Amino acid sequence: MSIEFRMPALGADMEAGTLLEWKVSPGDRVGRGDVVAVIDTDKGAIDVEIFSDGTVERLLVEPGTRVPVGAPLALLVGEPDAAVAEAVAQPPRTTTSASTAPSASIPLATMPGRAPRVRISPAARALAERLAIDAASLTGSGPHGAVSLVDVEAAARATPKAVSRRDTAPMRAVIAAAMARSKREIPHYYVTTTCDYTPVLDWVAIRNAGVPVEQRVLPVVPLLRAVVLAATQIPGFNGHCVDGRFDASQAVHLGVAVALRGGGLVTPAILDAGDKDVACLMRALSDLVGRARAGGLRASELASGTITVTSLGDEGVESVQPIIYPPQVAIVGAGAVVERPWLVAGEVRPRRLLTLTLAADHRVSDGRAGARFLARVADLLARPEAL
Amino acid sequence: MSAAVVPGTGRMTYREAVREALRQALRSDPHVFLMGEDVGAYGGCFAVSKGLLAEFGEERVRDTPLSESAFVGAGIGAALGGVKPIVEIMTGNFSLLALDQIVNNAATLCHMSGGQCPVPVVIRLATGAGRQLAAQHSHSFEGWYAHVPGVRIVVPATIDDARGMLGAALACPDPVLIFEPISLYNLEGELTAQADACDLDHAAVRRAGSDVTLIAHGASLYRALEAAGTLAERNVSAEVIDLRTLRPLDDATILASVRRTHRALIVDEGWRSGGIAAEIAMRIVEQGFYELDAPIGRVCTAEVPMPYPRHLEEAALPSATRIVAAVMSQLGR
């Protein structure tokens, strides 16, 4: 059985992407979820996973090629049932499994004194040196498989350094298209509430005091957890609305707006956030933010968010009225935590307050449901220990 | 030079362009004369000098005995004596009979005399294959002669150069060997005012390109240009250089092109082993190694004495098909 691996849509408005690098070669066995290619989109270099098990038969597209969404990139031979079982029994191909492979399978190239000289054209070698690229690690497309100038140039485009220097104009255009579409098509309504965030901050402070630095959580994480729980409990806010039809999602893939250092932002999702407790969410968040800024987001993380949280608290503003990221139907915006006089049991007390705003799609839900959603979030935040 | 040097432009054959050049040289300088086998009464074995005997007389268009060594030696002596001989040798193959005169005398005397005895002789030789003249009349020895210091080796490939290089050769104080490709005598083309500005120092870019540099001279130029056209249909942009002069080689033009394209392929009607193609390739390596993105390629004549049958002659010579295939392999396709 032959399977086509096609250029995925890494966002609602993506029309084409540039293949930067293959992570697999013909003959490699791949399993669902394995990263097989790096695709350059207007949002940056994205690791793309495959969703079929099989063996790579042929790569159809050379690195550096711009390919429309849906066009075949590679052909796979599907696994017969027995082979699938075997594949499940074996861990997916990873770098660690390669290093623990029996010595009989160590490729000749790694044996001292036996390394065949890598074919690199003089011009490619000089360019690679200038750009500090390890030309020996590249796959050659020149005569006799030699690494040539085009291979080095493609590698230069694929390196994080190139990503950090990337032109932000295309990303601006993507944000513009998505936000314009959102405002054009989605009838937003907004509900806002100010909640007492003091219990959360106290709980976080106590929790963090007892654990090593790497296990501490940021004050925003309980908010993420509360939104995830509310999204599973109150219907109408978690899913996609396509062509006016709402598709509720069982899983919560929580989009997080991440500002990039070079300008622009991306909203990758923490996949299956419903299954993650606060500690787990914290690890997922720091991993996601790190990869969003360094390059290396996965395709599934970019396209599959079902609801999003954006926080502008670090900029000091008290509230934000966010714009829904299509085709999602809801987004929660959080301002800064501010200390204000607040009535607690009839007495004025200094409390640390957080203003939350829900923007939701009126085609899918009504203001009353939105109010219930936001009240549930505030309610959950009042008892952080239960999160 | 005044514009009158090239009387009029227009469409003509390569043969007519050379004849016009001879006529103009004979008219403008009484010291110029033409000598060689059958150049007079017969009009030249390729009919280049047809009509010149009637126009200029036996003193200036001189038939010689059938002895290359003797009449080339006479030409060298005449040049030493202060006149300007143009010596025609029927084919490059026959010039081997005059090798001693050319290599041991023409090339050396100026140097051995400390500059006192320049030898401004011009020797014209028909060269190359393509007319079914078989192994004793079809070889390309311009690369051999380019090995020798003290002579200049030029190969006009265009109508303008056929018309213009003779004047530049006569003005040059060194012995100049002009190799005229046999297969180009019937080539037709426009003579332009460019013929006036001919020099003996520079190669010419005949077609601009960005992916590979095809380096050719003489009849091979047209095979390279044909190949460049085919390559363009395959989205490969080939630059074509016409060497024009094999000694001295215009390294600057070659290297400037290779620095743009990063690939070089040399097309030479000579044999591969020890040929001018090897010399050019080595110069590229010496001066442009780090610019190269693929091994330098050569398309040369098969290493056999040139066959007589048409199909074997064509098979032996460089062809556009072989050039295209060589370029595609340089591109890894």
Q: Any idea what the CATH number is for the domain that residue B304 is in?
A: 3.40.50.920
For residues A71 and A185, state if they share a domain: no
For residues A245 and A363, state if they share a domain: yes
For residues B255 and B110, state if they share a domain: no
Out of A244-253, B14-23, B69-78, least confident range? A244-253
Instruction: Tell me what the mean pLDDT of segment B59-70 comes to.
Output: 97
Is residue B118, in this structure, part of any structural domain at all?
A: yes
**pLDDT tens digits for range A45-73:** 788 888 888 888 888 888 888 888 888 88
**pLDDT tens digits for range A5-47:** 888 877 767 778 888 888 888 888 888 888 888 888 777 778 8
**Of the candidates B197, B213, B247, which is a domain's last residue?**
B197
Of residues A266 and B278, the one with the higher pLDDT is B278
For residues B175 and B305, state if they share a domain: no
Residue with tokens 């009349």: B137
For residues A147 and A235, state if they share a domain: no
Put simply, whether B325 touches A (Cβ < 8 Å) is no
CA–CA–CA angle A206, A211, A214 (5° rounding): 120
Domain that holds residue A65: 1-100
Compute the distance between CA of residue B33 and CA of residue B74 in angstroms, rounded to an integer.
12
CATH code (residue A38): 2.40.50.100
Least Cα separation, residue A170 to chain B (angstroms): 28
Is the Cβ–Cβ distance between A45 and A20 less than 8 Å?
A: yes
Is residue B3, in this structure, part of any structural domain at all?
A: no
For residues B192 and B213, state if they share a domain: no
Cα of B153 vs its chain's centroid, Å: 7
Are the Cβ atoms of B294 and A122 closer than 8 angstroms?
no
Question: What is the pLDDT of chain B when averaged over all its residues?
Answer: 95
**pLDDT tens digits for range B126-140:** 999 988 999 999 999
Out of A340-349, B137-146, B297-306, B316-325, least confident range? A340-349
For residues A115 and A42, state if they share a domain: no
Compute the distance between CA of residue B299 and CA of residue B157 in angstroms, rounded to an integer.
18
For residues A75 and A192, state if they share a domain: no
Q: Cα-flanking dihedrals φ and ψ of residue A96, to 5°?
A: -70, -40
For residues A227 and A315, state if they share a domain: yes
Is residue B223, in this structure, part of any structural domain at all?
A: yes
Interface test with B, best of A120, A147, A149, A152 (most B CBs within 10 A): A149
Of residues B22 and A170, the one with the higher pLDDT is B22
Give contacts of B 280-299 with A, CB under 8 A. Answer: 289-295
Of the candidates A241, A333, A228, the residue with the CA atom closest to the CA atom of residue A271: A228
Structural domain count, chain A: 3
For residues B280 and B311, state if they share a domain: yes
What pLDDT score does A16 carry? 83
Contact list in A for residue B290 (CB cut-off 8 A) is 122-123, 125-126
For residues B128 and B220, state if they share a domain: no
Among B291, B329, B331, beta carbon nearest to A123: B291
For residues A195 and A52, state if they share a domain: no
- Neighbouring C-alpha atoms within 13 Å toward the C-beta of B256: 11
**Of the candidates A62, A85, A100, which is a domain's last residue?**
A100
Out of A83-97, A197-211, A213-227, B115-129, least confident range? A83-97
pTM above 0.80, yes or no: no
Contact list in A for residue B261 (CB cut-off 8 A) is none
CATH code (residue A141): 4.10.320.10
**pLDDT tens digits for range A174-200:** 788 888 889 989 999 999 999 999 999
Residue A159 has pLDDT above 90, yes or no: no
Is residue B303, in this structure, part of any structural domain at all?
A: yes
**Of the candidates A54, A76, A100, which is a domain's last residue?**
A100
Are the Cβ atoms of B295 and A145 closer than 8 angstroms?
no
DSSP element (H, E) containing A338: strand A338-344
Contact list in A for residue B329 (CB cut-off 8 A) is 143
Among B262, B290, B329, beta carbon nearest to A143: B329
**Of the candidates B197, B221, B242, which is a domain's last residue?**
B197
**Of the candidates B197, B218, B238, which is a domain's last residue?**
B197
Is residue B133, in this structure, part of any structural domain at all?
A: yes
Confidence band (pLDDT; 50, 70, 90) for A383?
very high
Sheet containing strand B32-36, strands side by side: B61-63, B32-36, B84-89, B122-127, B176-181, B152-154, B245-247
Compute the distance between CA of residue A98 and CA of residue A59 in angstroms, rounded to an integer.
22
Are the Cβ atoms of A146 and B294 closer than 8 angstroms?
yes
For residues B176 and B218, state if they share a domain: no
Structural domain count, chain B: 2
Confidence band (pLDDT; 50, 70, 90) for A100?
very low
For residues A378 and A260, state if they share a domain: yes
Is the Cβ–Cβ distance between B101 and B84 less than 8 Å?
A: no
Are the Cβ atoms of B290 and A126 closer than 8 angstroms?
yes
CATH code (residue B61): 3.40.50.970
Is residue B318, in this structure, part of any structural domain at all?
A: yes
Domain that holds residue B77: 9-197
Compute the distance between CA of residue A356 and CA of residue A338 in angstroms, rounded to an integer.
12
What pLDDT score does B325 carry? 97
Residue A212 has pLDDT above 90, yes or no: no
Put simply, whether A154 touches B (Cβ < 8 Å) is no
For residues B289 and B178, state if they share a domain: no
For residues B185 and B266, state if they share a domain: no
For residues A206 and A313, state if they share a domain: yes
Of the candidates B229, B216, B227, B290, the residue with the CA atom closest to the CA atom of residue B258: B290
For residues A140 and A217, state if they share a domain: no
Residue B289 has pLDDT above 70, yes or no: yes
Which chain A residue is nearest to residue B258, measuring alpha carbons?
Answer: A123
Confidence band (pLDDT; 50, 70, 90) for B99?
very high
CATH code (residue A331): 3.30.559.10
- Point out the residues of B that are catalytic: 68, 137
Contact list in A for residue B295 (CB cut-off 8 A) is 143
**Of the candidates A48, A68, A100, which is a domain's last residue?**
A100
